[in-house]
């Protein structure tokens, strides 16, 4: 197991370098003028072409590819991601301000993904081919046929448009005043629900929750639908294994056979898939936050793409890619820990 | 043979069919035999003849789409086929235990060996976890696995093939079952280990006068340990008698074929006979006697009418129309020794 | 093959999928008849009015637009917005019909090309092995490090709006799955005894790949491809919805929904007033993807021998 982990860790920097290389290649498809926008705060103020030329040379924007790459990496290592035209602030600042909102959404969404996806998947497998299984399967198939944005719009329509229960955004205006101005409210974690509890402020807690429910439902649907299918097929395959028959042959009761003997094995590939699904929610975040105008990283990513804020676009690409790479690493390592056959090589 | 001994298990006309999309597979279609206390019954036949399915049918461990559709399985005087699932659970592992062919797949890879051995004990005797693990260690010792304390905490993949099979035996014998069914327990093992495993099983059973149903295609193994033998072909028992009779006075052409196709060191043989043809496709069984396409004694009657299992002499049953012809062959002197 | 076809038609869910797909194919083929184009580019949705707000179903083309067409000498073959108009007066019905063609184009072309690229790269990787395999696999990993939508977003932002750019983006980040799939299949098939037997008999490598390896390993790729058609269409629609996909007014379902984001809440007191702007394109997307998923799901069950209920 150790050699497996070491190997994965050694590959990490290589993959990350490759990622930066790919991003830079895409960035280089743009003209130097377009890329310049990432380096200066107000490109509209560029009066004459000579000034633009000077700046382009200063920032190495017309250097040959390898040199340009090196300079860009240098900038990256220093933590300088440039300027976001759409947010009108340094990219790094734009990211760190919006990160907690997205984190909060994703963390809460993990719960239904794992609980519903796995739980229903097991039930579906055990009731193989009868009515319950068919119903669950259909729900799941609809789940991954339904684009996130359509489902999100649908949820918004029903629960806000018609019922008025779950408004878009992150907080109601009155709550925003309190939280963002910091009057009588200390933001310890910047996760509003947690902070509200820490401050003992229940109304804000409930308000935040109210705004989170619809995005959580939307974000998690596709993920738990996919996880359900994987759990179901993993369980079906496992239930056919010889050792399940052995357990029955010993007189073990059916509940233990399913939930100990079978499930413990079936969960191994499912757990890694669950990890992938959660990481995959990174993509869904963009759409979900856009539909519900939830002020997180995804919303900013979409709006900066619309406004052709190239600097921001490649920055969030970099961010999401790094998150995925690290996430995959964690998932791979935990796989090695869960499966005794890998753990005790 | 002896009625003085206690009749432990009686199978009467057992039928188990598989209802697949491609048709009904009559895997077991009329199996009869008896097992007495303290003796070993060998079930012999080629792959696909229904031996394993018979074993699973006894314990009612059939997977979908299999179903036992007829016959009786009388264990200690009661028909197991009529029992509830709860009652069967009380019998499995406790009174009737089974050892499977491939220990690597039959053992759960994510549970420790010790736990798996102790599970039946905890289930049937309601003892605590600690006590159960201690018993596991004792059982591992009994099956001659070195360093049993360490082994109990290990996982199946950490044990060698022979040790895994011993662990399986320990697991099956944990509750001292009165009947042990062994489904090809030595087929996946080296020849040298085979003998050890067989001896081990016999020794353990002898301790409390348990019985063994030994399922195999290997006549050599049968010759070693069986008291009585049932020869199976295409889902039916075709001959049933004690060991001596089977090896000296077989009456079914298939049995004869089996015996003459194994190389023997004690008898001079000119060449190995081969049973021509192949095992029939269970979806398209031949009409009449299932063996007739491959049988050199086959007559027209064989092609049309299926023979039933008939008692030729005391303790010897055969399913064939041409028993006399087989007797003539045997008299020619093919079989000596054993 | 016969068995596969038989299974496809006997399973309830795949039958539904096939029926749906059939309907879509008919719509796509008959598009020029059902919704005759009113301009040179049939994929440009005609506008019924200059109004920003969506108009309800049954809306008639406004006079000022009519006049423009007359002046341009274009025959007005129809003038009623059967399903209403989206923001900016774009006729929804027209967009739905021609959007079907767009959907097929996107789905089939991107999957076909991505699969070809993927199979090619994966085969090379598996065939040569060694460090070539390592490098190719690491490159695959690098491409896989990006969430699909995010990667496509970046590329379409940089390349600009347009259906072709969308397809490029989808292909550039869509081949990896096939590469891994074919590589895995070939690697395990290489070890199969029948391949070793062929090798032992002296059959040439190329022949082995062509006759033995490819036929057996191509099926999972085909199943995967079928299932991916749906997700490609969804991603393309998502890109259009976000405003970085098809250009405004293009006959693309996702693009039509992008209009709807602002109108979904309706006006005060009458929620859901503009339901049709989202509902119609939305239902088309869902049914189209559902059709492919149902078929793909059944195919997967068929080709997975373990789930066939065998003995």
Using the beta-carbon criterion (under 8 Å), do A290 and C282 form an inter-chain contact? no
Say whether both B93 and B203 belong to one domain: yes
| Facing residue for B107 by CB, picked from A243, A253, A339 | A243
Q: What is the pLDDT of residues A151-171, one digit of tens each?
A: 888 888 888 877 888 888 888
Q: Which helix (H) or strand (E) holds B137?
A: helix B129-142
Secondary structure of residue B160 in the 3-state scheme: coil
Consecutive 10-residue averages of pLDDT for chain C (311 residues): 70 84 91 80 80 76 76 74 76 88 93 93 85 91 90 90 91 92 81 71 68 72 87 91 86 84 65 76 91 84 51 24
Residues of B in contact with A260 (CB under 8 A): 111
Q: What is the pLDDT of residues A231-266, one digit of tens each?
A: 888 898 898 889 999 999 998 999 999 999 998 899
A284 to chain C, closest Cα gap in Å:
8
User: Could you tell me what percentage of chain A is helix, strand and coil, using 3-state DSSP and rounding each to the nearest 5?
Assistant: 75, 0, 20
Residue contacts between A and C (CB atoms, under 8 Å) = 152
Say whether both B149 and B249 belong to one domain: no
Q: What is the pLDDT of residues B90-136, one digit of tens each?
A: 999 899 999 988 888 899 999 999 999 999 888 888 888 888 889 89
List beta partners, residue C80.
Answer: C60
Looking at the domain assignment, is residue B19 inside a domain? no
Looking at the domain assignment, is residue B4 inside a domain? no
Report the alpha-carbon distance of residue C306 to residue C75 in Å, rounded. 60
CA atoms A8, A10, A16, A18: torsion sign:
negative
Residues of B in contact with A241 (CB under 8 A): 105
pLDDT value at position C269? 57
Using the beta-carbon criterion (under 8 Å), do A287 and C149 form an inter-chain contact? yes
Mean pLDDT on A94-113: 91
Q: How many Cβ atoms sit within 10 Å of the Cβ of residue A237?
A: 17
> Radius of gyration over alpha carbons of chain B, in Å?
21
B21 to chain C, closest Cα gap in Å:
8
Using the beta-carbon criterion (under 8 Å), do C311 and B25 form an inter-chain contact? yes
Using the beta-carbon criterion (under 8 Å), do A252 and B119 form an inter-chain contact? yes
Residue by residue, what is the 3-state secondary structure of chain C? CHHHHHHHHHCHHHHHHHHHHHHHHHHHHCHHHHCCCCCCCCCECCECCCCCCCCCCCEECCHHHHHHHHHHCCCCCCCEECCCECCCCEEHHHHHHHHHHHHHHHHHHHHHHHHHHHHHHHHHHHHHCHHHHHHHHHHHHHHHCCCHHHHHHHHHHHHCCCHHHHHHHHHHCCCHHHHHHHHHHHHHHHCCHHHHHHHHCCCCHHHHHHHHHHHHHHHHHHHHHHHHHHHHHHHHHHHHHHCCCCCCCECCHHHHHHHHCCCCCCECCECCCCHHHHHHHHHHHHHHHHHHHHHHHHHHHHHCHHHHCCC
Partner A contacted by B265 (CB < 8 A):
no
Residues of B in contact with A343 (CB under 8 A): none
Residue contacts between A and B (CB atoms, under 8 Å) = 76
Secondary structure of residue B43 in the 3-state scheme: strand
Report residue B268's pLDDT band, with 50, 70 and 90 as the boundaries.
low
Using the beta-carbon criterion (under 8 Å), do A306 and C266 form an inter-chain contact? no
Residues of A in contact with B93 (CB under 8 A): 249-252
Rounded to the nearest 10 degrees, what angle do helices C214-242 and C253-260 cross at?
30
Using the beta-carbon criterion (under 8 Å), do B61 and A249 form an inter-chain contact? yes
Residues of A in contact with B102 (CB under 8 A): 242
Q: Is the pLDDT of residue A33 over 80?
A: no
Residues of B in contact with A243 (CB under 8 A): 105-109
Q: What is the DSSP letter of A133?
A: H
Say whether both B203 and B306 belong to one domain: no
Residues of C in contact with B25 (CB under 8 A): 311
Looking at the domain assignment, is residue B70 inside a domain? no
Report residue B269's pLDDT band, with 50, 70 and 90 as the boundaries.
low
Looking at the domain assignment, is residue B3 inside a domain? no
Looking at the domain assignment, is residue B276 inside a domain? yes
Contact B242, B315 (CB under 8 A): yes
Say whether both B200 and B138 belong to one domain: yes
Longest pairwise C-alpha distance within chain C? 80
CA atoms B70, B73, B78, B81: torsion sign:
negative
pLDDT value at position A123? 87
Using the beta-carbon criterion (under 8 Å), do C150 and A233 form an inter-chain contact? no
Number of domains in chain B: 2
Say whether both B111 and B179 belong to one domain: yes
CA atoms B224, B229, B231, B236: torsion sign:
negative
Say whether both B221 and B269 belong to one domain: no
B318 to chain A, closest Cα gap in Å:
32
Question: What percent of chain A shows pLDDT beyond 70?
Answer: 98
Which of these three, B204, B229, B254, is where a domain ends? B229
Using the beta-carbon criterion (under 8 Å), do C138 and A15 form an inter-chain contact? yes
Say whether both B49 and B172 belong to one domain: yes
Query: What region, left, alpha or beta, does residue B333 occupy, with left being phi > 0 and alpha being psi -120 to 50 degrees?
Result: left
Interface residue of B17, B20, B51 to substitute, partner C, most C CBs within 10 Å: B20
Rounded to the nearest 10 degrees, what angle do helices A310-338 and A2-28 cross at?
170
Contact C233, C289 (CB under 8 A): yes
Looking at the domain assignment, is residue B324 inside a domain? yes
- Residue A314's nearest CA partner among A324, A325, A301 is A301
B-contacting chains (≥3 CB pairs under 8 Å):
A, C
Q: Which two tokens stand for residue A299?
A: 């919303």
Looking at the domain assignment, is residue B160 inside a domain? yes
Output the CA–CA distances (angstroms, integers) from residue C259 to A298, C107, C250, C253, C264, in the order listed.
Answer: 19, 22, 12, 10, 9
Residues of C in contact with B18 (CB under 8 A): 311
Comparing alpha-carbon positions, the chain C residue that sits nearest to B64 is C309
Q: Is the pLDDT of residue A343 over 80?
A: no
Q: What is the DSSP letter of B158?
A: G
List beta partners, residue A89.
Answer: A84
Output the CA–CA distances (angstroms, integers) from residue A81 to A31, A37, A96, C111, in the order listed.
Answer: 18, 12, 12, 35
Say whether both B159 and B289 belong to one domain: no
CATH of the domain at B155: 3.40.50.300
Using the beta-carbon criterion (under 8 Å), do A161 and C242 form an inter-chain contact? no
List beta partners, residue B19.
Answer: B24
Say whether both B185 and B259 belong to one domain: no
**What's the domain range around B269?**
234-331
A-contacting chains (≥3 CB pairs under 8 Å):
B, C
Report the alpha-carbon distance of residue C20 to residue C43 in Å, rounded. 23
Which of these three, B197, B229, B261, is where a domain ends? B229
Q: What is the pTM of this model?
A: 0.79
Comparing alpha-carbon positions, the chain B residue that sits nearest to A262 is B108
Partner B contacted by C310 (CB < 8 A):
yes
Q: What is the DSSP letter of B36?
A: E
Q: What is the pLDDT of residues A285-338, one digit of tens each?
A: 999 999 999 999 999 999 999 888 888 888 989 999 998 888 888 888 888 787
pLDDT value at position C305? 54
* Interface ipTM above 0.90: no
Say whether both B172 and B113 belong to one domain: yes
Report the alpha-carbon distance of residue A335 to residue A328 in Å, rounded. 10
Report the alpha-carbon distance of residue A146 to residue A221 in Å, rounded. 9
Which of these three, B229, B256, B282, is where a domain ends? B229
Contact B47, B217 (CB under 8 A): yes
- Residue B305's nearest CA partner among B318, B323, B319, B287 is B287
Q: Which helix (H) or strand (E) holds B254?
A: helix B253-260
Say whether both B50 and B129 belong to one domain: yes
Q: Which two tokens stand for residue A281?
A: 């929610």
Looking at the domain assignment, is residue B336 inside a domain? no
B19 to chain C, closest Cα gap in Å:
10
Q: Which of A61-75, A214-228, A291-305, B161-175 has the lowest mean pLDDT?
A: A61-75
Partner B contacted by A264 (CB < 8 A):
yes
Interface residue of B21, B48, B56 to substitute, partner C, most C CBs within 10 Å: B21
Residue contacts between B and C (CB atoms, under 8 Å) = 11
Say whether both B165 and B206 belong to one domain: yes
What pairing do the DSSP bridges indicate for beta strands B211-216 and B23-36?
Answer: unpaired
Comparing alpha-carbon positions, the chain A residue that sits nearest to B107 is A243
Report the alpha-carbon distance of residue B149 to residue B140 in Å, rounded. 8
Report the alpha-carbon distance of residue A211 to residue A124 in Å, rounded. 32
With tokens 């109004």, the residue in question is C51
Report residue A215's pLDDT band, with 50, 70 and 90 as the boundaries.
very high
Residues of B in contact with A251 (CB under 8 A): 89-94, 120, 123-124
List beta partners, residue B228.
Answer: B41, B242
């Amino acid at each position: 197991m150790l050699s497996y982990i070491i190997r994965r860790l050694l590959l990490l920097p290589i993959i990350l370098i490759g990622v930066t290389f790919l991003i830079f290649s895409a960035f280089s498809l743009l003209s130097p003028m377009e890329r310049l926008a990432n380096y200066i705060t107000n490109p509209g103020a560029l009066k004459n072409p000579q000034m633009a030329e000077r700046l382009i040379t200063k920032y190495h924007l017309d250097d040959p590819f390898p040199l340009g790459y090196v300079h860009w990496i240098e900038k990256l290592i220093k933590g300088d991601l440039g300027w976001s035209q759409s947010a009108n602030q340094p990219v790094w600042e734009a990211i760190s301000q919006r990160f907690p909102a997205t984190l909060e959404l994703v963390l809460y969404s993990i719960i239904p993904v794992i609980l519903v996806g796995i739980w229903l998947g097991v039930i579906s497998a055990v009731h193989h081919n009868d009515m319950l299984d068919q119903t669950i399967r259909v729900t799941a198939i609809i789940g991954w046929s339904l684009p996130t944005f359509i489902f999100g719009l649908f949820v918004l329509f029903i629960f806000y448009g018609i019922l008025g229960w779950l408004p878009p955004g992150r907080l109601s205006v009155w709550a925003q005043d309190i939280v963002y101005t910091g009057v009588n409210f200390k933001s310890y974690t910047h996760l509003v629900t947690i902070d509200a509890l820490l401050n003992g402020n229940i109304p804000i807690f409930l308000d935040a929750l109210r705004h989170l429910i619809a995005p959580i439902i939307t974000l998690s649907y596709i993920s738990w639908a996919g996880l359900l299918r994987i759990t179901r097929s993993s369980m079906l395959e496992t239930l056919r294994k010889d050792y399940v028959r052995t357990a029955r042959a010993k007189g073990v009761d059916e509940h233990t056979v399913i939930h100990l003997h079978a499930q413990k094995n079936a969960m191994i590939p499912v757990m890694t898939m669950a990890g992938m699904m959660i990481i995959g929610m990174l993509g869904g975040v963009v759409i979900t936050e856009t539909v519900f105008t939830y002020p997180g990283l995804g919303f900013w990513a979409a709006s900066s793409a619309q406004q052709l804020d190239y600097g921001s676009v490649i920055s969030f690409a970099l961010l999401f890619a790094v998150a995925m790479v690290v996430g995959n690493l964690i998932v791979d390592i935990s796989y090695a820990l869960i499966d005794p056959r890998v753990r005790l090589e | 043979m002896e009625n003085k001994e206690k009749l432990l298990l009686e199978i009467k006309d057992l039928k188990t069919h598989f209802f697949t999309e491609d048709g009904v597979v009559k895997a077991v279609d009329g199996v009869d035999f008896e097992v007495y206390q303290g003796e070993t019954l060998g079930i012999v036949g080629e792959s696909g003849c229904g031996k394993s399915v018979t074993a699973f049918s006894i314990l009612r461990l059939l997977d979908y789409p299999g179903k036992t559709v007829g016959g009786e399985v009388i264990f200690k005087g009661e028909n197991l086929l009529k029992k509830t699932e709860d009652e069967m659970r009380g019998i499995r592992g406790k009174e009737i235990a089974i050892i499977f062919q491939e220990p690597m797949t039959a053992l759960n890879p994510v549970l420790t060996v010790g736990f798996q051995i102790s599970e039946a004990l905890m289930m049937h005797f309601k003892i605590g976890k600690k006590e159960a693990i201690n018993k596991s260690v004792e059982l591992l010792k009994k099956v001659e696995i070195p360093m049993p304390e360490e082994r109990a905490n290990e996982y199946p993949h950490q044990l060698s093939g022979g040790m895994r099979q011993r662990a399986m035996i320990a697991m099956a014998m944990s509750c001292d079952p009165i009947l042990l069914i062994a489904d090809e327990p030595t087929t996946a093992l080296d020849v040298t280990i085979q003998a050890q495993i067989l001896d081990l099983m016999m020794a353990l059973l002898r301790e409390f006068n348990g019985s063994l149903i030994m399922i195999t295609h290997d006549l050599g193994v049968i010759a070693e340990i069986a008291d009585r033998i049932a020869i199976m072909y295409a889902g039916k028992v075709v001959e049933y008698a004690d060991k001596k009779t089977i090896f000296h006075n077989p009456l079914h052409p298939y049995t004869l074929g089996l015996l003459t196709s194994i190389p023997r060191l004690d008898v001079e043989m000119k060449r190995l006979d081969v049973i021509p043809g192949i095992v029939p496709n269970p979806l398209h069984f031949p009409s009449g006697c299932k063996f007739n396409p491959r049988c050199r004694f086959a007559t027209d009657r064989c092609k049309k009418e299926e023979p039933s299992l008939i008692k030729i002499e005391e303790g010897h049953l055969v399913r064939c129309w041409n028993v006399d012809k087989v007797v003539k062959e045997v008299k020619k002197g093919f079989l000596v020794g054993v | 093959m016969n068995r596969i076809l038989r299974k496809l038609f006997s399973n309830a869910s795949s039958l539904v999928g096939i029926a749906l797909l059939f309907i879509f194919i008919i719509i796509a083929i008959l598009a020029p008849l059902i919704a005759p184009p009113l301009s040179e580019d049939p994929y440009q949705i005609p506008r019924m009015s200059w109004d920003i707000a969506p108009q309800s179903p049954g809306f008639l083309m406004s006079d000022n637009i009519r006049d423009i067409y007359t002046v341009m000498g274009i025959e007005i073959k129809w003038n009623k917005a059967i399903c209403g108009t989206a923001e900016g007066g774009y006729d929804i019905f027209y967009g739905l019909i021609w959007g079907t063609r767009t959907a097929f184009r996107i789905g089939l072309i991107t999957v076909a090309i991505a699969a070809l690229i993927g199979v090619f790269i994966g085969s090379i990787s598996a065939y040569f092995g060694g460090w070539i395999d390592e490098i190719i696999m690491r490159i695959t990993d690098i491409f896989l490090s990006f969430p699909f939508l995010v990667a496509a977003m970046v590329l379409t932002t940089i390349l600009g709006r347009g259906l072709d750019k969308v397809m490029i983006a989808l292909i550039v980040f869509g081949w990896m799955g096939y590469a891994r799939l074919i590589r895995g299949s070939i690697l395990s098939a290489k070890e199969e005894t029948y391949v070793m037997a062929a090798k032992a008999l002296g059959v040439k490598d190329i022949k082995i790949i062509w006759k033995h390896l490819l036929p057996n390993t191509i099926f999972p790729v085909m199943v995967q491809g079928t299932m991916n058609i749906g997700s490609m269409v969804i991603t393309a629609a998502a890109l259009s919805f976000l405003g970085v996909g098809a250009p405004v007014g293009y006959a693309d379902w996702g693009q039509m929904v992008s209009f709807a984001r602002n109108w979904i809440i309706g006006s005060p007191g009458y929620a859901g007033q503009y339901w049709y702007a989202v509902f119609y394109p939305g239902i088309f997307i869902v049914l189209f993807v559902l059709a492919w998923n149902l078929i793909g799901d059944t195919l997967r069950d068929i080709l997975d021998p373990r789930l066939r209920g065998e003995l």
